[in-house]
Amino acid sequence: MTGMQLLWTAIKILVMVGFVVNAGALLTWYDRRGGAMMQDRIGPNRAPLKIGKFELRIGGLLHTAADGLKFFTKKDFMPPKADKLLFSLAPILAFFPVLALVAVIPFGETVVPESIVRTVCKSATEYKAMVNGVCPDGFSPETVWPAVPRHGISATSTAIPLQVASLNVGILFIFAIAGQGIVGAAIAGWASDNKFSLMGALRAASQMVSYEVTLGLTLVGAFMIYGSVRLEDMVLWQGENTWGIFVQPLAFFLFFAAAIAETKRIPFDLPEAESELVSGYFTEYSGMKFGMFYFAEYMEIATSSMLLVTIFLGGWHLPFLHRDGLTIAFGATELFHTRMPHIWVVILSVLTFFGKTVVLCWIQAFIRWSLPRFRYDQLMKLGWTVLLPASLANIFVTGIVWLALQSAGPTADSALKVAADLTQGFTAALITGLVLWAIVGFLRPPTRKEMIIGSSAKLAAAAGGTKEGPITDPGPVTTEAA
């Protein structure tokens, strides 16, 4: 490996790890801030930065920093009868596999360093390449920002995929590493010498094993369509055809539900249900050991969102934006095409990937404050009797439809191409509408409306409203009456 390759690898690691860690930190803040907004509370406001008489609150962001400092300063407690080795090993097994997952997730268009910026020789009518760094007579040097071909990269060019490790096993690596989280939770509960921790560990292990079955089966249909288990190939297929959510809509929602269950958050937070198990499998943990469990849960939200974006939401692709620029076409009819500098395509692709990931993280946090917790029997029943059969049915239907389309001939291929381009147009219109709606929502002044929502209010209204009788003074209480 050359020095340049080592440098690019280090940059990619820093980008992915930095994003996951910061996303986890911001999600801890949003859980407080967003939950307070949804429940009409003040939210985090008691960790200001005081400069004289001036207080800087930054919307409660300093609470996250204060939490980090508390984790480092709190006492590292260990139960007297705990297994010291396994008790200390469990947080590591829960934390570091989450970081390892990002190694195979592609987050942007392939970079061609030679095409980022180039100096050429220009005359009044033509361009020529420089020879030994010198322009011929009648030509002057000029800096240009070239584009790259849409399909294929020149054999003489250096291609750097924006992916830490491009593995042949692809998604199989994801499942192999993600399964280690089960081991961390199980060891934490068993090694704590606490019955509540042990019960939480048993719940976590059974829940994660159950939903990992569905998690894997939902992707079988996607493998059939993409023809590969490599994540970068899946993204390239979606860029040339249509996003995975349009060809596997049921699989998207099944994978989304199973991914939330894997992160063990509301409404699937039975392994750490406070009302039943104190704090579940990490009840006995404190200090940074607890912080690793706590932070790993939030980072899992970011990694699961990355997988959803990669497999079902086009990865780094925007509608009609390709490696060579913007091309709006429906079937064989090209309506618009403009070449774009390679550097801008790469920047837009990276921003697109992380932007989609942030939106999915926000949706998961929104669900956490919107739905009540399941009972444990309901959770297991949902996984084994609803999601699992639905994932098997999705495989069966996908196989039949795919075989039928494969034997339908070129006419069907042309129709599918037009349909895929129409979904790109629909997606572009939807994204534009959502962005405009968000801008209007931010600029519009907030209005407060009091609403009473609940079954008791509905029952009272159906009964004709509530009636209050006059409050009468019963008089002094005598000794005999007492």
Q: Same domain for 121 and 261? A: no
With respect to residue 478, please indicate whether it lies within any of the assigned structural domains: no
Let me know if residue 266 belongs to a domain: yes
User: Which phi-psi region, left, alpha or beta, contains residue 328 (left: φ > 0; alpha: ψ -120 to 50)?
Assistant: beta
126 burial class (0-12, 13-18, 19+ CB within 10 angstroms)? exposed
Do 173 and 290 have their domain in common? yes
- Hey, what are 342's tokens? 């390679």
**Residue 229 counted as domain residue:** yes
d(CA 356, CA 310): 10
Cα 425 to Cα 330: distance, rounded to the nearest angstrom? 9
From CA 223, how far away is CA 221, in angstroms rounded? 5
How many domains is the chain partitioned into structurally? Answer: 2
Q: With H, G, I as helix, E, B as strand and everything else as coil, classify residue 448.
A: coil
User: Residue 132 is part of which domain span?
Assistant: 113-147
Q: In sequence order, what DSSP letters do the residues of 131-149 get, joined into one string?
A: BTTBPPTT-EEEEE-----
pLDDT tens string, the chain, 482 residues long: the values are 677 778 888 888 899 988 998 888 888 888 888 878 777 777 777 777 777 777 777 777 777 778 778 877 777 778 888 788 888 888 888 888 888 888 889 988 888 887 777 777 777 677 776 676 677 777 777 777 777 877 777 666 677 888 888 888 888 888 888 877 788 888 888 888 788 888 888 888 888 888 888 888 898 888 888 888 888 889 989 988 889 899 999 999 999 988 888 888 778 777 776 666 666 777 878 778 888 888 888 888 899 899 999 999 988 888 888 888 888 888 777 788 888 888 888 899 999 999 999 999 988 888 887 877 778 788 888 888 988 999 999 999 998 988 888 887 777 778 888 888 888 888 889 988 988 888 888 788 877 666 655 666 666 767 666 666 555 666 665 555 44
Same domain? For 134 and 265 the reply is: no
Give the pLDDT confidence score for residue 482 in this predicted structure: 43
Give the predicted TM-score (pTM) of the model: 0.83
Whether residue 100 is found in the same domain as residue 133: no
Q: Are residues 214 and 137 in the same domain?
A: no
